[in-house]
Amino acid sequence: MVALPGVDPAWPAYRDVPSTAAVDPAGTTNTWHYLDNGSQLPEPPRGTLLCVHGNPTWSFLWRSVLAAGVEHGWRVIAVDQLNMGLSERTGRFRRLADRVEDLNDFVESIGLTGPVITVGHDWGGVVSLGFADRRRDLLSGVVLTNTAIHQDPDRQIPAPLRLALHPMVHRWGTKDTSAFLDVTHSLARPSLSKEVREAFLLPYRSGARRQGIADFVADIPVGPSHPSYPALRSIAEGIRTLEVPALMLWGPEDPIFSDTYLNDLAERLPQADIHRFEGASHLVGEDRDIATPLFRWLNGAGSGDAGSPDAESGDAESSTFTPLEHELTQRAAGPHADELAVADMGADGRIARSLSWQGLDREVQTLAAALLRIGVRRGSRISLMVPPGVELTVLLYACLRIGAVIIVADAGLGRKGLSKAVRGTVPDFLIGIDLALTAAKLFNWPGRRISVASLPAAQRKLLGVQHSLAELRTAGERGTSTMTDDGLDPDGLDPSGLDPDADAAILFTSGSTGPAKGVVYTHRRLAAMRDTLAQTFTIRPGDGLVAGFAPFALLGPALGTTSITPDMDVTKPKTLSAAALADAVAAIHATTVFASPAALRNILATQGELTAAHREALAGVSLLLSAGAPVPSRLLTELLDILPGASLHTPYGMTEALPVTDVDLEVILSAEADAAAGSVVGAGNGVCVGRAVSGAQLTVSPLSEEGTGDGDPTTAAGITGEILVHAPHVKERYHRLWVTQRESSRTGGWHRTGDVGHFDGAGRLWVEGRLPHIVTASTGVVTPVGVEQALESLDAVGLAALVGVGPAGTQAVVAVVETVPPVKKPGLAGAKLAAQARGAARSVGVELSAVLAVPSLPTDIRHNAKIDRTAVAAWAAGVLAGGRIGKL
């Protein structure tokens, strides 16, 4: 056999195997080719991985798993299915049932004993599951990469497979030419190297050698009449009772085996741990390192905790649980029933829509009953694509009352990010405004469509809308009590009957520091977030709340506060003006304001439009909360002119845990004074975010020279490390990101935030940046925030980003500054500005290699404050390499 990249010469083997498959005549023996690392294991293996390729690959696909198996003490056997790879061409058409029988024949012949973990890809996934279902006596686990086990008879198979099956294409594309092979190989992300592509082609150089590819395609069960459909259905139903651990490693960009098929498998194997490798496609094992997470999972399975990372908050399950809507229902049934609960402001400075507590509860109940009648159930996933306000509030609490899982991904993710979020969660229902429904149609998002507005018949048909909220409300109002198939009474919904530890919401991160992640919260953890906010900021039922920050726009009813959404686009914080804020405050006599840092900047910029009445209303605000990004103390100080009676707080947190710490302007100024005087150990070099909120604990894992948080957790002053948090309101897990979740919880009971910081001698936490943004210079690790603050203290600098250019460990430390006024062309900073910037950096102990100036720095849409340092670093590298200076 010729040398192949990544294949050890000790692995290839051939074996004559007696066949019991119905397609073979009695007494037939077939020759199998396979790869086996067993001879390289010094001791008896921990178990055996039985790897089965699909069409049109072969055992070469599993080479990385074979190599890693040697390191971890697992035997790995990767077979070439008959008529495929380097195994015998039998000359007989082998259907799915035959291939399951074939695999069992091979296992019997080689004398495998348990424990056996099956590993499958593509149609090899189906064959491996058929074997797993049959040989439960050997089975101890199941691993799947992009595959499918069920085809909805009411839906067509994926377009590429329809084309491959077309009579005018099938023989030409699968046998006569290498077209099917070439298309499959082209799906790799990134592209396969020439050597790897040639290795995949090796067994299929002639038409005769490709007959198995053609037969495999022809055996796709396209519908109930297909000869292999009964076998497929039997396997699909049989695996529902598999009780062994399961792992699914998926490439979500696969045009064939999409997230729809992943969702089906997850429903059949609910115990499965799942990781979707963002950007990976059909050949996920080529696109990403699957061997490392596979063996990490296996080693966990071997110790009895397969896929079950340490809980990030060990006391969450034992905490007292009060449903999220407790205050809503209490106020609706009590003396406050007719008082204002929620409202939206209009452009004219008046309330555009409002509901009393009783009215809100009635709307929630009506809509929940209607949703139940159209098939929404406990556990159903509902994508809510509705702007924050009264409508979204009603929808959210209706879903929570049922026990459905809400999916919230805001428009700030952009078209690509939003598509990935929707497809990755595979919602059962999608409720949206016209724009969202249009996007759902254009990008083929999953889920039954429900429109917020009542649409004309033609538009409704075009967008595939089945219901409108108006219709549902009408149906809910006239409905009668009818028990659903899972025992729920639409007119007697009782939120106290919910499982506190069932999933309640999937909330997506902003995507400002990498691909947006779905963060899963249970009912208990959402309730703990409410309780933490109430306790930390002394928010009481009956208070008035202006929600100008999307994450808090829905928590008013849970807190029992009268909440109002100001006239703004909540997904674009910079649209909140000073007058719009004042109008909202005046409308409900609000005492509390939630607003993002970008909103605060615009409020200051537009304060000239405030009237005397506006200022009088704003003087009644006693608490301002601003979260999402650091807020400079000088900005907060300037806000005191507008909010003279407010205590100004900037809690630190993230989608995974909000809030984590709290700090007010008084503490920030004191901390900055300590830093300037050098009177407190560790004060400075970052943003002071205060101390842990009620119920939370904090520590840091010290950084290594490579900029990773690997040290033993500590709270000692002045030691920089990754920030870890333990609290009852920390997320349950990441949605279908098993690898990410495992990494974030690898320190038992703690969530690793990915943020970097340190404590000072007074016990205050200072945030220095994100782990991915650390600069690893030859002089040591440099965290960005402290240097950026020093740069932003210059009159000529608005925003600053510190980035590393070059190889890790020897990176150049580069400052990219947004100038005031904006420079006309991006590029190297002028001599004066460069000198000022270098001096500012030296004041915090950092030498800059270069200073670049730009008209504006790229920031995320959700916060309008978080700088995209990855894009900045790539641009800076191009400039310093002498390339064409393009727009950042």
**pLDDT tens column, 261-281:** 999 999 999 999 999 999 999
Q: What is the pLDDT of residues 449-475, one digit of tens each?
A: 999 999 999 999 999 999 999 999 988
Sequence-ordered list of residues with C-beta below 8 angstroms from that of 76, at least 6 positions apart, any chain: 35, 36, 37, 48, 49, 51, 62, 65, 66, 69
Is the pLDDT reported for residue 571 higher than 80?
no
Task: Report the side by side order of strands in the sheet with 797-805.
Answer: 797-805, 812-819, 850-854, 827-828
Of 64-78, 405-419, 586-600, which gets the smallest average pLDDT? Answer: 405-419
Task: Report the side by side order of strands in the sheet with 340-345.
Answer: 351-356, 340-345, 562-565, 544-548, 592-595, 623-625, 647-649
Mean pLDDT comparison of 502-516, 567-581, 613-627, highest-scoring range:
613-627
Is residue 491 a contact partner of residue 479, using CB atoms and an 8 Å limit?
Answer: yes
For 506, the token pair is 């999937």
Given this model, what pLDDT does residue 573 score? 81
Sequence-ordered list of residues with C-beta below 8 angstroms from that of 839, at least 6 positions apart, any chain: none
Given this model, what pLDDT does residue 310 score? 44
784-792 and 831-842 helices cross at what angle (nearest 10)? 130
Q: Model pTM?
A: 0.91
pLDDT band at 305 (very low <50, low <70, confident <90, very high): very low
First to last CA, the chain: 51
For 275, the token pair is 């990781």
Sequence-ordered list of residues with C-beta below 8 angstroms from that of 332, at least 6 positions apart, any chain: 357, 358, 360, 361, 362
Is residue 740 a contact partner of residue 509, using CB atoms and an 8 Å limit?
Answer: no
Helix and strand counts by DSSP (H, E) for the chain: 30, 36
β-strand partners of 819? 797
Given this model, what pLDDT does residue 411 score? 75
The DSSP call for residue 864 is: S
Given this model, what pLDDT does residue 300 score? 82
CATH numeric code, 12-154+223-302? 3.40.50.1820
Given this model, what pLDDT does residue 510 score? 79
Which residue ranges does the chain devote to CATH 2.30.38.10?
A: 675-772
Q: Domain 675-772 classified CATH 2.30.38.10?
A: yes
For 141, the token pair is 């686990």
- Taking CA atoms, 533 is separated from 161, 404, 653, in Å, by 52, 24, 12
Is the pLDDT reported for residue 489 higher than 80?
no
Q: What is the DSSP string of 152-168?
A: -TTSPPPHHHHHHHSTT
Q: Domain 326-534 classified CATH 3.40.50.970?
A: no
- The percent of residues in the chain predicted with pLDDT above 70, rounded, is 94
In total, the chain counts a number of residues equal to 888
b/e per residue, 416-444, with b = 16+ CB within 10 A?
ebbbbbbbbbbbbbbbbeeebbebbeeee
Is the pLDDT reported for residue 306 higher than 70?
no
Cα(819)–Cα(212) distance, integer angstroms: 64
β-strand partners of 797? 819
Q: What is the pLDDT of residues 615-641, one digit of tens each?
A: 999 999 999 999 877 788 989 999 999
Given this model, what pLDDT does residue 296 score? 95
Cα(754)–Cα(728) distance, integer angstroms: 19
Given this model, what pLDDT does residue 309 score? 39
Parallel, antiparallel, or unpaired for β 405-408 and 503-508? parallel
Cα(684)–Cα(682) distance, integer angstroms: 6
What does R_g of the chain's alpha carbons equal in angstroms?
30
Is the pLDDT reported for residue 864 higher than 60?
no
Fold of 775-880: GMP Synthetase; Chain A, domain 3 (3.30.300)
pLDDT band at 492 (very low <50, low <70, confident <90, very high): low
Which residue ranges does the chain devote to CATH 3.40.50.12780?
A: 326-534
For 773, the token pair is 């943004």
Given this model, what pLDDT does residue 863 score? 47
Cα(429)–Cα(472) distance, integer angstroms: 14
pLDDT band at 487 (very low <50, low <70, confident <90, very high): low
Q: What is the DSSP string of 713-782?
A: PB--BT--EEEEEE-TTS-SEETTBHHHHHHHT-STT-EEEEEEEEE-TTS-EEEEEEGGG-EEETTEEE
Q: What is the pLDDT of residues 191-214, one digit of tens each?
A: 999 999 999 999 999 999 999 999
* Amino acid at residue number 522: T
Closest CA to 220 of 56, 52, 446: 56
Is residue 32 a contact partner of residue 80, using CB atoms and an 8 Å limit?
Answer: yes
Is the pLDDT reported for residue 738 higher than 60?
yes
Is residue 147 a contact partner of residue 123, using CB atoms and an 8 Å limit?
Answer: yes
* Amino acid at residue number 544: G
Dihedral sign computed on CA atoms, order 389, 391, 395, 397: positive
* Residue 236 Cα to chain centre, angstroms: 28
How large is the average pLDDT for residues 690-703? 96
Q: What is the DSSP string of 275-332?
A: EE-TT--S-HHHHS--HHHHHHHHHHHHTT-TT-PPPS-TTTTTS----TTHHHHHHH
Q: What is the pLDDT of residues 806-818, one digit of tens each?
A: 999 999 999 999 9
Which residue ranges does the chain devote to CATH 3.30.300.30?
A: 775-880
Closest CA to 880 of 846, 857, 850, 860: 850
pLDDT band at 804 (very low <50, low <70, confident <90, very high): very high
The helix (run of H) or strand (run of E) holding residue 385 is strand 381-385
**φ and ψ at residue 377, rounded to 5 degrees:** -135, 170
**Helix (H, G, I), strand (E, B), or coil: what is residue 887?**
coil
